[in-house]
Structure 1
Amino acid sequence: MIKPTSSNTPSKIKNSYRWFPYFRDCIGAIDGTHVTSKVRRSMSAAFRGRKHHTRQNVLASVDFDTRFTYVLAGWEGSAHDASILSDNLTRPDRLQIPEGKFYLGDAGYACRPGILPPFRKPRYHLNEFSPRNRP
């Protein structure tokens, strides 16, 4: 059973002095993933992504306990994540993003209310996130 997430700040963020100031209003992450599918031959061109197999692009959101909170399947493999999200936000059964809260997205999404993608072109220092640098 897929349930929408609570709009409360997750304890993993609330109890972290490193993450709380930046992610206190974050309720999860959102992304698209490609799933192999079988479709009618007449529709196969639209469902063919970068690889040679027919695929569906599935939009999904997860909370901080890695539980699915929303899934939208059925889009062609050639569809871009941002197009799927834009269409989704106009549907009556859309992904519900509470006012003042946001999901983390990847670089395939534009910055918009409720979605926070990474900044373009920063150089992240992965050694800052190694286990020895954690509190």
Structure 2
Amino acid sequence: MDLNDEDCIGALDGTHVRVKISNEDAPRYRDRKGYTTQNVLAACSFDLKFTYVLPGWEGTASDSRIIKSVLTRNDNLKIPQGYMNRSRLIAPYRGVRYHLKEYFVRPPENAKELFNLHHASLRTTIERAFGILKKRFSIIASTIEPNYCVDTQNEIILACCILHNYLMGVDPDESLIAKVDEEVLHSHCERVASTPREDDEDARQGDIIRDSLISVMWQNYVQM
């Protein structure tokens, strides 16, 4: 058994898009870099097409808070609650090497590191999708000064994602993909490890699934 895109249905993460906000609301939308942004939750398949997009959250909102809210909506995102380990949403091991660049220098030395390497490799899918989206449509690029309010920017983001999916089918632009891949590889970092742990039965089932995966993965790895 291995962890690859045949065993997973997609990748999930958030990205920040700059937005024009009143001075009164600005503190709720100001991200760690000091810009006023909205946090956009999205899921994508491994062909880099978006399967779920939820814009509109203020820049200070955490990914886990957004995911919990999603579960109360009438949307089609069918995953368990939270960014922690779940029976259908598997998180990496915290406190274990995760960055792809680290494994280029020193290969995995145990089963948990091997799992995190595979997890990180798959997780770059959503980062690549975001990168291509923002390079195709400069109106939502991180370096562009925002000109639209949240509601208008929401519609722009959704329209860009729809156009992105269409273009990935008819004009993927391999040179653009290659450029984004290089940028993602050099800037890849872990964000999920800081998410607080939730203690419930579904989380424990996720732990069991993950632990059963790594034993088989490690056996296959050392026999290669």
Assess same fold via TM > 0.5.
yes
Aligned-partner Cα distance in 1 for 2:68–2:76: 10
Which deviates more, 108-117 or 80-89? Answer: 108-117
Aligned partner of 1:85 among 43, 47, 67: 67
2:24 alignment partner, SS class? helix
Tell me by how many angstroms 1:87 deviates: 0.7
Consecutive unaligned residues of structure 2, counting only runs of 5 or more, are 108-116, 118-223
Tell me by how many angstroms 1:114 deviates: 2.8
- Does residue 126 of the first structure (1) align with residue 84 of the second (2)? no
Task: Give the alignment's TM-score, normalised by structure 1.
Answer: 0.65
Residue 110 of structure 1 corresponds to which residue in structure 2? 84
Aligned partner of 1:46 among 24, 28, 31: 28
Give the greater-gyration-radius structure (CA).
2
The one-letter code sitting in structure 2 at the alignment partner of 1:126 is Y
Consecutive unaligned residues of structure 1, counting only runs of 5 or more, are 1-16, 103-107, 130-134
State the structure with bigger RCO (CA 8 A, min sep 6), 1 or 2: 2
- Does residue 75 of the first structure (1) align with residue 75 of the second (2)? no
Tell me by how many angstroms 1:43 deviates: 1.1
Aligned-partner Cα distance in 2 for 1:26–1:38: 37
Residue 11 of structure 2 corresponds to which residue in structure 1? 29
* Cα RMSD for the two superposed structures: 2.8
Tell me by how many angstroms 1:92 deviates: 1.1
1:34 alignment partner, SS class? strand
Residue 77 of structure 2 corresponds to which residue in structure 1? 95
Greater helix share, 1 or 2? 2
The one-letter code sitting in structure 1 at the alignment partner of 2:88 is G
Greater strand share, 1 or 2? 1
Aligned-partner Cα distance in 1 for 2:34–2:3: 41
Aligned-partner Cα distance in 1 for 2:51–2:66: 17
Provide Cα deviations, 1:6-25, integer angstroms capped at 9, x if missing partner.
xxxxxxxxxxx7545xx644
How many residues in Structure 1 have an aligned counterpart in Structure 2? 104
Aligned-partner Cα distance in 1 for 2:12–2:64: 11
Residue 58 of structure 1 corresponds to which residue in structure 2? 40
Tell me by how many angstroms 1:82 deviates: 0.5
1:82 alignment partner, SS class? helix
